[in-house]
Structure 1
Amino acid sequence: MELLNRFIENIHKHYLFTKKDRLLLAVSGGVDSMALTGLCKKAGFDFGIAHCNFQLRGTASDADEAFVKAWAGKWAVPFYSIRFNTGSFAAENRLSVQEAARVLRYEWFEELRSRNGFDYILTAHHANDTIETLLMNFFRGTGMNGLTGIKEQNGVIVRPLLFAKRTELEAFLEQEGLSFVQDESNLKNDYTRNFIRNELLPQIARVYPEVEQNLIANIDRFKEATRLYQRSVEQYKKKLLLVKGAEIHLPVLLLLKSAAPSTVLFELIKEYGFSAAQVPEIMRLTESGSGHYIVSATHRVIRDRRHLILAPLQAVENARVLIEQPGRFPFKEGVLAVKQLQLEDHRIPTDPGTAWLDAAEIRFPLILRPWKTGDYFYPLGMTKKKKISRFLIDKKLSLIQKEAVWVVETDRKIIWVAGQRMDNRFKVTERTKQIIELRFLKS
Structure 2
Amino acid sequence: MDLLTGFKIFIEKEQLFMPDQSLLLAVSGGVDSVVMAHLFKAAGYRFAIAHCNFQLRGDESVRDESFAADLARRLQVTFHQVRFDTEAYTESKRVSIQVAARELRYEWLEQTREQGGYSYIVTAHHMQDSVETLLMNLSKGTGIAGLHGILPKQGKLLRPLLFAEKENLIAYAAEHHIPYVEDSSNLTVKYTRNFFRHKVIPVMQEANPGTVVNIASSIERFREAELLYNEALQRHIKRLVTQKGNTYMIPVLKLQKTTPLQTVAWEIFRRYGCTAAQLPQVLELLNSGSGKMVETGSHRIIRDRQWLLITPLVEEQAATIVIEKERGVISTANGVLRIKTSERSAHTAIPAAVTIACLDKETLQYPLLLRRWKQGDYFYPLGMRKKKKLSRFFIDQKLSVVQKENIWVLESAKRVVWIVGLRIDDRFKITPQTKELLTIEWEAY
TM-score w.r.t. length of structure 2: 0.93
Structure 2 gaps of 5+ residues are none
Equivalent in the alignment of 2:444:
442
Question: 1:393 and 1:110 mapped to 2: Cα distance?
Answer: 55
Question: 1:110 and 1:362 mapped to 2: Cα distance?
Answer: 61
Equivalent in the alignment of 2:424:
422
Question: 2:305 and 2:216 mapped to 1: Cα distance?
Answer: 48
Measured against aligned partners, the alpha-carbon deviations of 1:220-279 in whole angstroms (never above 9, x if no partner) come to 111111111111111112111212122221111111111122321222233333323222
Q: Give the alignment of 1:297-316 within 5 angstroms.
A: 297-316=297-316
Question: 2:51 and 2:431 mapped to 1: Cα distance?
Answer: 85
The more displaced of 343-352 and 313-322 is: 343-352
Measured against aligned partners, the alpha-carbon deviations of 1:293-314 in whole angstroms (never above 9, x if no partner) come to 2223332221111111122223
Aligned-partner residue type, residue 299 of structure 1 = H
Aligned-partner residue type, residue 66 of structure 1 = S
Measured against aligned partners, the alpha-carbon deviations of 1:401-430 in whole angstroms (never above 9, x if no partner) come to 112221122221112212212223333445
Question: Residues 294 and 302 of structure 2 are in contact (CA less than 8 Å); yes or no, is this contact kept in structure 1?
Answer: yes
Aligned-partner residue type, residue 364 of structure 2 = I
Question: Residues 25 and 122 of structure 2 are in contact (CA less than 8 Å); yes or no, is this contact kept in structure 1?
Answer: yes
The more displaced of 389-398 and 324-333 is: 324-333
Question: Per-residue deviation at 1:153?
Answer: 1.5
Q: Give the alignment of 1:58-69 within 5 angstroms.
A: 58-69=58-69
Question: Per-residue deviation at 1:352?
Answer: 2.0
Question: Per-residue deviation at 1:20?
Answer: 0.6
Secondary structure at the aligned position of 1:67 is classed as: helix
Question: 2:434 and 2:213 mapped to 1: Cα distance?
Answer: 89
Question: Residues 327 and 339 of structure 1 are in contact (CA less than 8 Å); yes or no, is this contact kept in structure 2?
Answer: no
Equivalent in the alignment of 1:328:
328
Equivalent in the alignment of 1:169:
169
Aligned-partner residue type, residue 418 of structure 1 = V
Equivalent in the alignment of 1:139:
139
Measured against aligned partners, the alpha-carbon deviations of 1:318-339 in whole angstroms (never above 9, x if no partner) come to 3433334376332312214243
Aligned-partner residue type, residue 87 of structure 1 = E
Question: 1:367 and 1:145 mapped to 2: Cα distance?
Answer: 51
Say whether 1:76 aligns with 2:80.
Answer: no
Say whether 1:127 aligns with 2:127.
Answer: yes
Question: Per-residue deviation at 1:432?
Answer: 4.6
Q: Judging changes above 3 Å, is the alpha-carbon distance between structure 1 residues 437 and 95 closer, same or farther for their aligned structure 2 residues?
A: closer
Question: 2:33 and 2:376 mapped to 1: Cα distance?
Answer: 70
Q: Give the alignment of 1:400-411 within 5 angstroms.
A: 400-411=402-413
Q: Judging changes above 3 Å, is the alpha-carbon distance between structure 1 residues 176 and 302 closer, same or farther for their aligned structure 2 residues?
A: same
TM-score w.r.t. length of structure 1: 0.93
Q: Judging changes above 3 Å, is the alpha-carbon distance between structure 1 residues 189 and 89 closer, same or farther for their aligned structure 2 residues?
A: same
Question: 2:341 and 2:41 mapped to 1: Cα distance?
Answer: 79
The more displaced of 72-81 and 316-325 is: 316-325
The more displaced of 148-157 and 127-136 is: 148-157
Equivalent in the alignment of 2:43:
43
Measured against aligned partners, the alpha-carbon deviations of 1:32-84 in whole angstroms (never above 9, x if no partner) come to 11110121111011111122222322222222223332232223222222333
Structure 1 gaps of 5+ residues are none
Question: 2:437 and 2:118 mapped to 1: Cα distance?
Answer: 71
Equivalent in the alignment of 2:23:
23
Q: Judging changes above 3 Å, is the alpha-carbon distance between structure 1 residues 358 and 175 closer, same or farther for their aligned structure 2 residues?
A: same
CA RMSD of aligned residues (A): 2.2
Say whether 1:381 aligns with 2:383.
Answer: yes
Aligned-partner residue type, residue 116 of structure 2 = N
Question: 1:369 and 1:93 mapped to 2: Cα distance?
Answer: 40
The more displaced of 173-182 and 67-76 is: 67-76
Q: Judging changes above 3 Å, is the alpha-carbon distance between structure 1 residues 387 and 211 closer, same or farther for their aligned structure 2 residues?
A: same
Measured against aligned partners, the alpha-carbon deviations of 1:106-134 in whole angstroms (never above 9, x if no partner) come to 22222222222222211100000011111
Q: Judging changes above 3 Å, is the alpha-carbon distance between structure 1 residues 192 and 433 closer, same or farther for their aligned structure 2 residues?
A: closer
Secondary structure at the aligned position of 1:281 is classed as: helix
Equivalent in the alignment of 1:54:
54
Aligned-partner residue type, residue 169 of structure 2 = L
Equivalent in the alignment of 1:275:
275
